[in-house]
Amino acid sequence: MRNARFSRLAHLALLGLGGSLVAACADEAPVGPTGDPDPGPSGPAFSQAATSPGGGHVVAVKGRLAADFEQTVEALGGSVVHSLPGIGVVVTAGLTDADAARLASEPGVASVDRDMMVQWIPAGETLQGGRLEGPMSESDQSSAQFFLPYQWNLRQIDADDAWTRSAQGAGVVVAVLDTGVDPFHIDLDGKIDGASTSMLSPGSSPCGSFDETTIYDLAFHGTFVSALVSSNGLGMASVAPDATLMGVKVLSCDGTGSFGDIIAGIVYAADHGADVITMSFGVYFPKNAIGGGPLVAVMNRAANYANQRGVLVVASAGNEGVDLDRDRNFTHLPSMAANVVSVGATAPVGQADFDALASYTNHGVSGVTVMAPGGDLVAGGVLEDLVLSACSSFVCGAPNVYGFGGGTSFAAPHAAGTAAVIIGDNWGSPSQTEHCLIKGADDLGKKGTDNLYSKGRINVLGALSAPGGC
């Protein structure tokens, strides 16, 4: 047990005190599955709109990292941003491509590749809402003020039934790799682990050093994701009320970030007490894209390292609305990296058919492990079909604001929270936790594993009593 201390968005609408709608905006997700497999990939190309070359390089070494490696980089005119000896990777800044080629010829260096800056989360508009005050936090969140009636997502996965039948994730640390977190929000106050940090490279954020050097969420996304995993049960309820959150900032205020910073964030969380890592962002790209192969390999190193350290890694499956079984020449990261539980999204339409496949979600057995509530807003739908969570005061204009959102970004924290509940009651290896997550899921669609729902939609209560021992 650990010591606790201190994608893309489809839709967003903000709530003020008492649940009144203040404003709404839409960053529309593409039309996706409707019951039949789609004809093929339609997501952004990795080498074009989704990314641009970064200013740094990712260096993979063979065996142990040389003691004087940093001096070697500095002699070539660069600097080391992240040194990750556990996976044999170094992220550098300031090297020209010619200098990088010289570094690649050094003994023990396996590869040196240009890092990539990726638009992992499209920029989303945030608007001002109201303020909420409330009492101390509650483990049994069945009396969460104001917004619990809106939270169909928790009832659908039996999270509410598990609040009084489990340890609610007590003693478990969930690392949320994202845009940061608002530790001052009334539903997150006191829940943020002291190891929370920013992994953003200097000069990487358009919002400057304040974004790069603090854990504060200047983009709303990380706060929204975090409160779905664990909250104080004041304005809203959560999946694992007693879990602790570790905010690891790997994306800047505009939703961009580098492969190097994300890889460093995975390793950091694994080394600093995380039991679960969740990542609600991604990019869909051709496997043969320039620079893609080596960066995929290094991300696999990081995910494998976390797994070996006993950490379950969870990620959103993506909002491109594609069948990941159809074109094996494409991949989605980080959800399809090694040892990652990939989560697609379900949502109601007009507060009916709560397990419908969300219009935007990627699907396919090869790329999605399980489904979870993600919310949606389509023709015939209503605002409440989206998922409700907390919004960062740094961008929402007032403290203690809540909003509605939709996307696989918001499905992933449901699975991460479920994993925390499993671990809190039945501490085991990542593979054991994943087994419980899968075996406890509700079988939807065709009987057994299928192309649309993969291994089923998660169920917290079911995971605690899954066949095979949990």
- Per-10-residue mean pLDDT for the chain, 470 residues long? 32 44 29 32 36 80 89 96 96 95 94 94 47 57 73 96 94 98 96 97 96 96 98 95 98 96 98 98 83 86 98 97 89 96 98 96 97 96 94 89 94 98 94 96 96 98 82
Measured CA to CA, the distance from residue 260 to residue 447 in angstroms comes to 41
CB 408 within 8 A of CB 343: yes
Q: What residue ranges of the chain are covered by domains with CATH 3.30.70.80?
A: 52-119
Q: Specify whether the CB–CB gap between 457 and 317 falls below 8 A.
A: no
- Return the CATH superfamily for domain 11-43+121-464: Peptidase S8/S53 domain (3.40.50.200)
The sign of the dihedral angle between the CA atoms of 290, 291, 292, 294 is positive
Residue 217, CA distances (Å) to 180, 223, 278, 448 in order = 4, 7, 16, 40
Pairing of strands 401-406, 11-15: antiparallel
* 113 contacts 294 by C-beta, under 8 angstroms: yes
Residues of the chain with CATH 3.40.50.200: 11-43+121-464
Question: What's the confidence (pLDDT) of residue 72?
Answer: 95
- Dihedral angle over CA of 7, 327, 346, 221, nearest 10: 0
Contact at 8 Å (CB) between 253 and 207?
yes
Cβ-count burial 44-83 (b if 16+ within 10 Å, e if not): bebbeebbeebbbbbbbbeeebeeebbebbeebebebbbb
Radius of gyration of the chain (CA): 21
Arch. (CATH architecture) of 52-119 = 2-Layer Sandwich (3.30)
- Whole-model pTM: value is 0.89
Interhelix angle 259-271/292-308, nearest 10 degrees? 10
Q: Tell me, what's the pLDDT at 12? A: 52
Distance CA 142, CA 241 (A): 11
Distances, alpha carbon 214 to alpha carbons 53, 209, 268, 367, in Å: 25, 8, 16, 33
